[in-house]
Amino acid sequence: MIDITMPALSPTMETGTLSKWLVKVGDVVKSGDLLAEIETDKATMEVESIDEGIVAALLVAEGTEAVPVGQVIARLAGEGEAVEAGPSSSPLPPAGGVGGGHAASAAAASPVEDRTHPQPLPQAGGEPAFAPIPGNRIVASPLARRIAGQQGVDLAGIAGSGPNGRIVRADVEAAAGRAPAPVAAAPAPAAAPALVAASPPPTPPAAAKSESFGPPFSDIPHTQEKLGNVRKVIARRLTEAKQTVPHFYLTSDVRIDALLKLRGELNKALEPRKIKLSVNDMVIKALALALRQVPAANVSFQGDTLVRYDRADISVAVAAPSGLITPIIVGADAKPMSVIATEMQSLAAKAREGKLQPAEYQGGTASVSNLGMYGIKQFDAVINPPQGMILAVGAGEKRPFVVDDALAIVTVMTVTGSFDHRAIDGSDGAELMAAFKALIEAPLGLVA
Q: pLDDT tens across 168-203, in order?
A: 777 887 887 754 444 444 444 444 333 334 444 444
Comparing CA positions, the residue from 142, 169, 110, 164 lying closest to residue 45 is: 142
- Residue 413's SS3 state is strand
Which range marks the domain in which residue 131 is found? Answer: 2-196
Judge whether residue 118 has pLDDT over 70: no
Query: Residue 405 burial by CB count (10 A; 0-12/13-18/19+): exposed, middle or buried?
Result: exposed
Q: Is residue 218 part of a domain?
A: no
My answer on whether 393 and 270 are in the same domain is yes
Name the residues annotated as catalytic: 421
| Mean pLDDT of the 143-159 span | 79
The pTM score is 0.59
Number of domains in the chain: 2
Judge whether residue 43 has pLDDT over 80: no
| Mean pLDDT of the 345-369 span | 91
**Secondary structure of 205-263 as H, E, C letters:** CHHHHHHCCCCCCCCCCCEEECCCHHHHHHHHHHHHHHHHCCEEEEEEEEECHHHHHHH
CA gap 448, 446 in Å, rounded: 6
CA gap 336, 325 in Å, rounded: 24
CA gap 421, 253 in Å, rounded: 22
Q: Is residue 305 part of a domain?
A: yes
Structure confidence by residue, pLDDT tens digits, 119-132: 443 443 444 333 34
Percentage of residues in the chain having pLDDT higher than 70:
76
CATH number of the domain bearing residue 105: 2.40.50.100
**Would you place residue 374 in the very low, low, confident or very high pLDDT band (cuts 50, 70, 90)?**
very high
My answer on whether 242 and 188 are in the same domain is no
pLDDT score, position 82: 65
DSSP state of 135: T
Comparing CA positions, the residue from 424, 324, 413, 403 lying closest to residue 376 is: 413
Judge whether residue 19 has pLDDT over 60: yes
Which of 196, 220, 255 is a domain's end point?
Answer: 196
Q: Is residue 26 part of a domain?
A: yes
My answer on whether 274 and 399 are in the same domain is yes
Residues whose CB falls within 8 Å of the CB of residue 16, separated by 6 or more in sequence, listed in order: 6, 9, 38, 39, 40, 67, 69, 229
Q: Is residue 209 part of a domain?
A: no
Structure confidence by residue, pLDDT tens digits, 379-429: 999 999 999 999 999 999 999 999 888 999 999 999 999 999 999 999 999
Contact 35, 22 (CB under 8 A): yes
Contact 385, 240 (CB under 8 A): yes
**Would you place residue 144 in the very low, low, confident or very high pLDDT band (cuts 50, 70, 90)?**
confident
pLDDT score, position 258: 97
My answer on whether 185 and 250 are in the same domain is no
| Mean pLDDT of the 362-377 span | 95
pLDDT score, position 434: 98
My answer on whether 385 and 252 are in the same domain is yes
My answer on whether 269 and 159 are in the same domain is no
Average pLDDT, the chain: 80
Please give the residue that has the higher pLDDT: either 114 or 260.
Answer: 260
My answer on whether 151 and 18 are in the same domain is yes
CATH number of the domain bearing residue 239: 3.30.559.10
Please give the residue that has the higher pLDDT: either 182 or 1.
Answer: 1
Hey, how many other C-beta atoms are within 10 angstroms of the C-beta on 359? Answer: 11
pLDDT score, position 153: 83
Q: Is residue 341 part of a domain?
A: yes
Contact 132, 118 (CB under 8 A): yes
CA gap 395, 415 in Å, rounded: 9
CA gap 57, 49 in Å, rounded: 14
Residues whose CB falls within 8 Å of the CB of residue 124, separated by 6 or more in sequence, listed in order: none
CA gap 437, 253 in Å, rounded: 8
Which of 170, 196, 222 is a domain's end point?
Answer: 196
Q: What share of the chain is helix, strand, coil (3-state, %, to 5)?
A: 30, 25, 40
| Mean pLDDT of the 432-442 span | 98
Please count the helices (runs of H) and the strands (runs of E) in the chain.
8, 20
CA gap 73, 58 in Å, rounded: 6
Contact 297, 428 (CB under 8 A): yes
**Would you place residue 8 in the very low, low, confident or very high pLDDT band (cuts 50, 70, 90)?**
confident
My answer on whether 277 and 371 are in the same domain is yes
Q: Is residue 397 part of a domain?
A: yes
Judge whether residue 12 has pLDDT over 80: no
My answer on whether 21 and 168 are in the same domain is yes
Which of 140, 171, 196 is a domain's end point?
Answer: 196
pLDDT score, position 48: 86
My answer on whether 247 and 185 are in the same domain is no
Least confidently predicted of 53-57, 70-74, 226-230: 226-230
Hey, how many other C-beta atoms are within 10 angstroms of the C-beta on 403? Answer: 11
My answer on whether 178 and 277 are in the same domain is no
Structure confidence by residue, pLDDT tens digits, 285-336: 999 999 999 999 999 999 899 999 999 999 999 988 878 889 999 999 999 9
Q: Is residue 24 part of a domain?
A: yes
Q: Is residue 206 part of a domain?
A: no
My answer on whether 178 and 238 are in the same domain is no
